[in-house]
Amino acid sequence: MNRELLETTIRATSSDAIARNLHVFDTIPSTNQTLWELLAQGAEPGTIVIAQTQTSGRGQWGRQWVSPVGGLYLSQAIAPKLPVSHSFHLTLATAWGIASQFRNCGIPVGIKWPNDLVINNRKLGGILTETKIQQGKITKAVVGVGINWANPVPETGINLQSWQTESGLVSIDSLEMLVVITLRGIHSGWQRYKNEGVNDLLPAYLELLTSMGQKLTINHNSGIVVGVTPTGELRVQNSERSPSNSQTTPEEIYCPPGTISLGYNKSSD
């Protein structure tokens, strides 16, 4: 599909607020980067950037996000006015919001800690939230979402079009519809967080967390994932603890995002 058609269709199927703030490009380095440039030129919170391909898509932990035609590459600006210590709440709200919108369409999307979107333990998409901080407050944030729609994916990935064909459930029938559902997800997650707070949202996020109960090894200690703290650390129950070492061995280990990877199975069919 060409860029004009994509843009026209999104505008025709979206609210006025989306249509007013929408920028659609053929190829740019990164939708997050372009959105930061637009914000520096005075663009408002709510501004959306979409690209058909990215040449330097940014992934988590400094990785590249390979972005061929057929995928969804979208960024939206928000003005959170949150303390820096709450930055994980942006991730929580967005991941929960998007996964829930998919589930409302009958697509069983889960969340792999901290913010991968998964189906059957294969990566469907990822979220990269970048922030600007002034005087200890997050004044601006760019929420960047990449979702595999019809693009080729690695062995550990899955694209939505193939999943729908294989499962016989086609509830999202175009890239434009995927855009609308993703934006609805960002909006609903952020609204729920603003209205109800983290104590309401965290249990909802945990319900969708596929990592719950996963066994793993940290520093030669085995443990089981039992949750996530409100600041985003993975809570791992220490299986090495026993009555004889309980004084010296903690009951739980807390892993900040980026310090461990939960990995993907290559043969999860």
Residues near ligand BTN (CB under 6 A) are 30-32, 54, 57-60, 63, 65, 73-75, 116, 126-128, 144-146
Nearer to ligand BTN, 145 or 202 (CB): 145
Closer CB to ligand BTN, 39 or 226, in the complex: 39
Shortest distance in whole angstroms from residue 258 CB to ligand BTN: 11
If the CB atoms of residues 126 and 223 are measured against ligand BTN, the closer one turns out to be 126
Residue nearest to ligand BTN (CB): 126
| Residue 172 Cβ vs ligand BTN, minimum distance, rounded to whole Å | 18
Q: What are phi and psi of 132, to 5 degrees?
A: -115, 135
- Least distance in angstroms from the C-beta of 35 to ligand BTN: 8
- For ligand BTN, the closer of residues 154 and 203 by Cβ is 154
Shortest gap between Cβ of 161 and ligand BTN (angstroms)?
Answer: 17
93, 131, 135 from 97: Cα distances, Å: 6, 19, 28
- Number of Cβ within 10 Å of residue 173's Cβ equals 10
What is the C-alpha separation between 186 and 14, in angstroms, rounded?
14
Q: Which is nearer to ligand BTN, 156 or 221 (CB)?
A: 156
Please identify, using beta-carbon distances, which residue of 147 and 253 lies nearer to ligand BTN.
147
Q: How far is the CB of 78 from ligand BTN (least distance, A)?
A: 14
Q: Shortest Cβ distance from residue 130 to ligand BTN (Å)?
A: 9
Tokens representing 19?
A: 């249509």
